[in-house]
């Protein structure tokens, strides 16, 4: 499992927004706040046993498998719009709705993968076994 490099996510998300002049400083601050809000949401909704640590800089790493970088980027983008940042895309309302849905689905994907990994790791434990559930054949 490789962690997500936040700088790459920042570059991708920044392209989705209109950021000019002094607005860049605000965008950078909002990005960190929104990243932490997204991390909090993933921690809470995916029911992670090991919590993802919050970040303080754009150069940080996020302790989440890099295969979920799309989930992180979408969550940050949704939070940025909620913070008042403006999309630089055609049909921003439709894009926002799509990203909200994909973020929700992404959190479900993370939770499902965690459960599947736990089940595979505990395959010797009768708790997850058909026989261990009371049926003896």
pLDDT tens readout for residues 58-84: 999 999 999 999 999 999 999 999 999
Instruction: Give 118's pLDDT tier (boundaries 50, 70, 90).
Output: confident
| CB atoms closer than 10 angstroms to residue 124 | 7
- Is 84 within 8 Å of 33 (Cβ atoms)? no
Can you tell me the mean pLDDT for 121-134? 55
Interhelix angle 6-15/69-82, nearest 10 degrees: 50
Task: Give the residue among 45, 44, 36, 15 at the shortest CA–CA distance from 83.
Answer: 36
What does the block give as tokens for 11?
A: 């570059």
Of 124 and 54, more confident: 54
**Residue among 89, 118, 74 at smallest CA distance from 17:** 89
Rounded percentage of the chain residues whose pLDDT exceeds 90: 64
Maximum CA pair distance of the chain?
A: 71
Task: Examine the pLDDT at 122 and tell me if it is beyond 80.
Answer: no
Confidence of residue 133 (pLDDT cuts 50, 70, 90): low
């Amino acid at each position: 499992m490789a962690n997500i490099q936040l700088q790459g996510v920042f570059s991708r998300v920044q392209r989705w927004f209109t950021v000019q002049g002094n607005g860049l400083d605000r965008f950078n601050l909002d990005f960190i706040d929104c990243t932490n809000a997204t991390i909090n949401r993933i921690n809470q909704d995916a029911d992670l046993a090991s919590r993802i640590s919050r970040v303080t800089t754009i150069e940080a790493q996020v302790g989440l498998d890099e295969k979920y970088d799309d989930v992180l980027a979408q969550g940050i983008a949704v939070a940025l719009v909620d913070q008042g940042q403006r999309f630089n895309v055609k049909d921003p309302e439709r894009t926002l709705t799509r990203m909200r849905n994909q973020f929700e689905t992404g959190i479900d994907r993370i939770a499902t993968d965690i459960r599947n990994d736990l089940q595979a790791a505990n395959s010797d434990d009768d708790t997850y076994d058909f026989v261990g559930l009371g049926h003896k054949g």
